[in-house]
Structure formats: structure tokens, C-alpha cells
Amino acid sequence: MLHATLPLDTEPFAFTPEPVEAAPARRPLQRQGVGVHLQGLTKSFGERRVLDGIGLELKAGEFVAIVGRSGCGKSTLLRTIAGLDAVDGGRITVGNGVARDAQRDGPPLRMMFQEARLLPWKTVLENVALGLPNGLHAAAGALAAVGLADRADAWPAQLSGGQRQRVALARALVHEPSLLLLDEPLGALDALTRIEMQQLIESLWRQRGFTAVLVTHDVQEAVALADRVLLIEDGRITLDLAVDLPRPRTRGNPAFAALEEKLLDRLLAR
């Protein structure tokens, strides 16, 4: 049984503050990504079995995307990995510990949602520093890493949707997560902002080495970012597609387009 009340964005973790000024282009890894092992996960809501024996092995530092038709259980899977939803059966291991203990004592995981979920009465900097005693310096570093150093004193309401998602990303990064769970975080953004955010997430992932799991409706986004794309159908993983293309990836390149088409064909075949 998993713990259901993980305070994803408030729990303090040990971290090393990042220099606010003159941050190196590629700073040394402070925390490695962790492997994730899922075994026979089952989860039902009433009569409806949403996860029907999910088994999965994620390597440390891997970037995995999850796609599938609306309602197939993508968010539920992410929420169970985060410990926000309890599973009915099966086992989740994050790093070396079962998820419940890993969340409490082990490598930190953070989750990002489609909405930024910022506190409107706190400034951008205070939102990022939430839950971190003396965390303003680290928060300023995280804001600089997402390109928002100059908006530290702004209120959330004064930001665009894309900027608010950057703040949400900074709020996750300030905890130096070993596992970052991304639940359609770019779904509400316009096409251009979305591509800029994809590039930002990819470059931060490459610099920092965390393991990333991205739920997305956008197969192009999945192919652009992921090492592997998983398709969920009927509560199971029915396709595990390796994306063996050099990074950064070029949309429209024939190999890219072929993978995108393969995924779309599978999604539309249902």
C-alpha cells in the first residue's frame, strides 16, 4: 500500500545552492537520476480497472514519455508512482527503496501538472522557495535556470501561462529531484511556447541527469524528448518504442516523422 499524501512541492530536501550569478553552462551533477521499477501494478476506480498489471523498468537518468487515449490511465500511473494515489496491488520501487519509504527518506521526486498551482499571494521567488528554510538563494538560482531571474518579485497573476509553468519547473528543480514526473505540463501552452519549454526541459534534463517521466497527448512532443515512448491501452503497456535519434532532434526529419506516424497509427487504430 502506498502513502497517499506526499507533499510534492513543500517537503524540504537537502540540496546545494546554485550560484545565482555566472552559473556555469554545464554544472556538475549534484544528484543522479534514479531507476524506477514497477511490478504488477493494479488500480481500479469502482468497477473500472484502470491499471491492469503494469510492469516497467526505468533506467536511472532515462527520459520516458507515456501516451495513450484520453482516460487510459496515464495520470493515474504517474500519480501512483508519486504516491498520490494508492495502488490496489503490485509494487513500486524508486531507487533502492519501495516508493513509500523512498518518498520519505530517499531520493526526492517532484511532480509538475498542467496548471502551475502557484500561491497567488506569494511572489514568484517565494513560490519557488516554498518549504525550503533559507531557500531564497537556491530559489533565485532555480529561477535563473528557467530564464526568469528578472521576474523574481512579480506576482503569479502578472505572468503569462508559459512563465507560470517555468516557475512551476523552477519550484520542482530547486529540490534537486532525482525523479521528475511531468503530467502534461505543456498541454495548455501555445505551440511556440510549448516548443521553447520542451527545449528548456530537455536541456535541464541533460545538465542535471534526473530521471523524467512525461505524460503527453502530443506524439511529436514524446518523440522530441523521450528515449522511450510507452503506449498504454486497456490498463497495460502495449508498446515500448525506443527513440534512437540524436539530440536535439529535428522535427520533420524522416526518421522522426516515421516514429511519430507509427505512434499516431497505433493511437488511431483503436
- Name the site residues for ligand ATP (rule: CB under 6 A): 45, 48, 50, 68, 70-76
Closer residue to ligand ATP in complex, CB, 75/165: 75
Closer residue to ligand ATP in complex, CB, 27/236: 236
Closer residue to ligand ATP in complex, CB, 20/219: 219
How far, in Å, CA of 86 to CA of 104, rounded? Answer: 15
Question: What is the number of other CB atoms lying within 10 angstroms of the CB of residue 65?
Answer: 27
Smallest distance, ligand ATP to C-beta of residue 75, A: 3
Q: Are strands 89-94 and 97-98 parallel, antiparallel or unpaired?
A: antiparallel
Residue length, the chain? 270
Closer residue to ligand ATP in complex, CB, 48/104: 48
Q: Are strands 89-94 and 36-45 parallel, antiparallel or unpaired?
A: antiparallel
Closer residue to ligand ATP in complex, CB, 58/67: 67
Helices (H) and strands (E) in the chain, counts: 8, 10
Smallest distance, ligand ATP to C-beta of residue 115, A: 13
Smallest distance, ligand ATP to C-beta of residue 2, A: 15
Smallest distance, ligand ATP to C-beta of residue 153, A: 34
Q: Are strands 211-215 and 228-233 parallel, antiparallel or unpaired?
A: unpaired
Sign, CA torsion 53/55/9/143: negative
Are 51 and 235 contacting, i.e. CB atoms less than 8 angstroms apart?
Answer: yes
Smallest distance, ligand ATP to C-beta of residue 68, A: 6
Closer residue to ligand ATP in complex, CB, 106/235: 235
Smallest distance, ligand ATP to C-beta of residue 50, A: 4
Are 97 and 105 contacting, i.e. CB atoms less than 8 angstroms apart?
Answer: yes
| 65 alpha carbon, distance to own chain's centre | 9
